[in-house]
Copies of this chain bind each other. A is one copy, B any other.
Amino acid sequence: MENSKPKTIAFQGERYAFSEIAAKQFFTEEITCVPCKTFDIVFEAVENGSAEFGIIPLENSLTGSIHRNYDLLLEHELMVVGEVFLRVEQHLIANPGVSLSDIKTVYSHPQALEQCRKFLTSLPGVEPVASYDTAGSVKMIHDQKMHDSAAIASSLAARIYEMQIIKQEIEDIPENFTRFHVLSKNDKKFAQPDKTSIVFSMKNIPGALFKALSVFALRDIDLLKIESRPLRGKPWAYIFYLDFSGNMDEERSKNAIRHLQEMSNFLKILGSYPSGYSKESNKE
């Protein structure tokens, strides 16, 4: 029997954060989003069943892979069942009637402040102040009717709180995409999975990485991501993040993974899922 209640999705941040926008992009039906203070809590919520799914950022086109979330994927027994690419657009948002020259303080998440560093330093006498969330900063300047402050957040946050966008797209580098993974306790197929993510480390053998990739090349399996991450204190030990085309129901994928296991000393399949696509932007 289908559950008639909306699905619950745990995410890190406050309401209307980019993770929630990513969740809404992924799930086309109505969903209930559960804000969590930390990524650890997102994983725990899905694990203990208080949320059906979780959504976490995995990498950003400017700042790189979020190793912490890869670590959590290794620590927890959750599966990657979906992928979302979201274009991150940051706007300067204030109460209606406020103009740029009124602003003394700009609140946002540290990452967003970083992404708009050039813009912020171009405003003389304006102090950037870190908060735990982009959308939460909009809520604060709205609730406290702060007329000498602005927030950096998405256009959704501006709309929800009926605030004014003073300046659009203030990021230093406009090509800013974040890739999210949708997590579940059990395997869920939203569409035909065509992409698989694995994490592995290799035995200390000559040309280890080349041999690892050969198990895919020999079976004409396309690689979509490869990243080595050195393990501190072990000069020759690396963890590899690898995404390939195909799913774990396919014979050639199973053969490749079995082959890879022969030469790896650790291997975890994070999940097979339909590959995400990027919408033009996060504009609603």
Does A177 count as interface, using CB distance less than 8 angstroms?
yes
Instruction: Tell me whether chain A's interface is mostly helix, strand or loop, or mixed.
Output: mixed
The answer on a CB contact under 8 Å between B61 and A63 is: no
Nearest B-chain residue to A241, judged by Cβ:
B227
Does A129 count as interface, using CB distance less than 8 angstroms?
yes
Nearest B-chain residue to A213, judged by Cβ:
B210
Does A68 count as interface, using CB distance less than 8 angstroms?
yes
Interface residue from B38, B113, B220 paired with A118 (Cβ < 8 Å) = B38
The answer on a CB contact under 8 Å between A61 and B65 is: no
Report copies per complex: 2
The answer on a CB contact under 8 Å between A228 and B230 is: no
The answer on a CB contact under 8 Å between A209 and B228 is: no
User: Which residue, of A113, A118, A227, has the highest number of chain B Cβ atoms within 10 A?
Assistant: A227
Chain A 208-225 against B: per-residue CB contact (8 Å), 1 yes, 0 no?
011001101100101111
The answer on a CB contact under 8 Å between B209 and A213 is: yes
Does A114 count as interface, using CB distance less than 8 angstroms?
yes
**Neighbouring B residues of A283 by C-beta, 8 Å:** none
A112 to chain B minimum Cβ distance, whole angstroms, is 9
**Neighbouring B residues of A216 by C-beta, 8 Å:** 210
Does A279 count as interface, using CB distance less than 8 angstroms?
no
A14 to chain B minimum Cβ distance, whole angstroms, is 13
The answer on a CB contact under 8 Å between B37 and A121 is: yes
The answer on a CB contact under 8 Å between A63 and B66 is: yes
A196 to chain B minimum Cβ distance, whole angstroms, is 16
The answer on a CB contact under 8 Å between A64 and B61 is: no
- Using a CB–CB cutoff of 8 Å, the interface residues on chain A facing chain B are 37-38, 59, 61-68, 110-111, 113-114, 117-118, 121, 128-130, 173, 175, 177, 206-207, 209-210, 213-214, 216-217, 220, 222-230, 232, 278
Sample of 16 A–B contacts (CB below 8 Å): A37-B121, A61-B229, A64-B65, A68-B173, A113-B130, A128-B130, A175-B232, A207-B217, A207-B220, A207-B222, A209-B213, A213-B213, A224-B230, A226-B226, A227-B227, A232-B278
